[in-house]
Amino acid sequence: RRPLTKRLLLKLQRHFDVPATELPVEAPEPNVGPQQVAEALGALGYPGFAYLKRGTRWHPAQVLLTALEQSNLEARLAEALPWVVLYYPNLNWDWLLERVKVKDVQNRLGFVVALTRRLADHRGDHATALKLLPVEQQLERARLVREDTLGRDSMTAAERRWLHDKRSPEAQHWNLLTDLVPEHLPYAV
């Protein structure tokens, strides 16, 4: 038996409704821009980028890692990350957890998972919230002390001070400067 080539996998993916979590997971390409992340989110079915559905679908773990690695992530992309976790809770967590630690973005993922777990509880999706709890606990053990942003490295000192005082308890716990809360997410209702 020969392994499937990438080209054949892409053809099969287009012709059959292959779940995104069954796609092969690959390391993110260097220098992926915001447009490519938006297209990947659209291909996964994120409603905010539904008009971009035509691209190649990536595994949800690959989309998350690519977005979390961005030094300057657009707000509309950051808002989409909890949606990925909410709709793909069975993604390849082992692969993702290993790589976020290597890239030092485990606090960013921990925050996204905590936010998603809170959102799932709020929506009454207790099964998803329970699936995310062990992931959050694993990330808790690898939590970094240094303060970070959710992909907004170019933030001014004034913005940093304001967010330091106004961030949510989840953001404070994960040492992130962000004002992202479930109530601000367009799909939270």
pLDDT of 18 = 61
Q: Which of 182, 60, 187, 54 is nearest to 122 (CA)?
A: 182
pLDDT of 73 = 94
| Structural domain harbouring 49 | 6-25+32-184
Q: Is the pLDDT of residue 35 over 80?
A: yes
Tens digits of residue pLDDT in 42-57: 999 999 998 886 667 8
Q: Domain for residue 1, yes or no? A: no
pLDDT of 67 = 96
pLDDT of 122 = 92
- Average pLDDT of the residues in 104-114: 98
Better-scored residue on pLDDT, 173 or 51: 173
% of the chain at pLDDT higher than 70: 84
Q: Domain for residue 51, yes or no? A: yes
pLDDT of 114 = 98
Q: Domain for residue 141, yes or no? A: yes
Number of domains in the chain: 1
SS3 labels along the chain: CCCCCHHHHHHHHHHCCCCHHHCCCCCCCCCCCHHHHHHHHHHHCCHHHHHHCCCCCCCHHHHHHHHHHCCECCHHHHHHHHHHHHHCCCCCHHHHHHHHHHCCCHHHHHHHHHHHHHHHHHHCCHHHHHHHHHHHHHHHHCCCCCCEECCECCCCHHHHHHHHHHCCHHHHHCCEECCCCHHHCCCCC
Positive/negative CA dihedral, 63, 135, 98, 175: positive
**Do residues 169 and 186 touch, judged by C-beta distance below 8 A?**
no
Residue 176: both structure tokens together: 């992130």
pLDDT of 17 = 62
Q: Domain for residue 189, yes or no? A: no
Q: Domain for residue 110, yes or no? A: yes
% of the chain at pLDDT higher than 90: 70
Question: With the CA atoms of 72, 167, 119 and 189 taken in that order, what torsion angle do they form, in degrees rounded to the nearest 10?
Answer: -90
Q: Is the pLDDT of residue 189 over 80?
A: no
Q: Domain for residue 90, yes or no? A: yes
Q: How far is CA 89 from the centre of its chain?
A: 11
Q: pLDDT-based confidence at 186, cuts 50/70/90?
A: confident
